[in-house]
Structure 1
Amino acid sequence: MTLDQPEPKRRSTPLMLLMAALAIVGVLIGANAHLVYVAFASQPDCVTHLKTESKHGGYRAAKSAC
């Protein structure tokens, strides 16, 4: 580099930080969207549970969906 040429400005550091921040935000949004999708797509089937009160104080479903 000669003395008559100005030193080039370093713009890469803020740009890289911005790109990293956008990538992190994108991953978080994608992960949350996947969790919402899985929550709605994987509804479990009915399971066996007590329909009436038990003598021994067993637990039963508050509202049966079956």
Structure 2
Amino acid sequence: MKAATQRHRTRLLVLTGVVAGLLLFFGANAHLVYVAIQAQSECVDHLKMPDETRPGQFRAAKSAC
């Protein structure tokens, strides 16, 4: 009888750990989706045309501004 109780307790602990891990996983992903939707970046200054006088400066591939 004692072995059966121990086995049930172990199963409950494992199941609780799995459920907690899944909740953490889905909660973190839901937070990432929420932040991505809320972070609507506005138009940022960038080079419109290539400029050889300022090396290392990048321009947008397709400007939305």
TM-score class, shorter-chain normalisation, is: 0.7 to 0.9
What value does the CA root-mean-square deviation take over the aligned residues? 1.4
1:46 aligns with 2:57: no
**How far, CA to CA, are the matches of 1:52 and 1:18 in structure 2?**
58
Give the match's secondary structure for 1:50. coil
Larger radius of gyration: 1
TM-fit CA distance, 1:45: 1.3
Aligned pairs, how many? Answer: 60
| TM-score between the two structures when normalised by the length of structure 1 | 0.77
The structure showing larger relative contact order (alpha-carbon pairs under 8 Å, at least 6 residues apart) is 2
1:34 aligns with 2:31: yes
TM-fit CA distance, 1:23: 0.7
Structure 2 gap segments, 5+ residues each: none
Higher helix share: 2
Q: Which residue of 2 aligns with 1:60?
A: 59
Identity of aligned residues (%): 45
| TM-score between the two structures when normalised by the length of structure 2 | 0.78
Structure 1 gap segments, 5+ residues each: 1-6
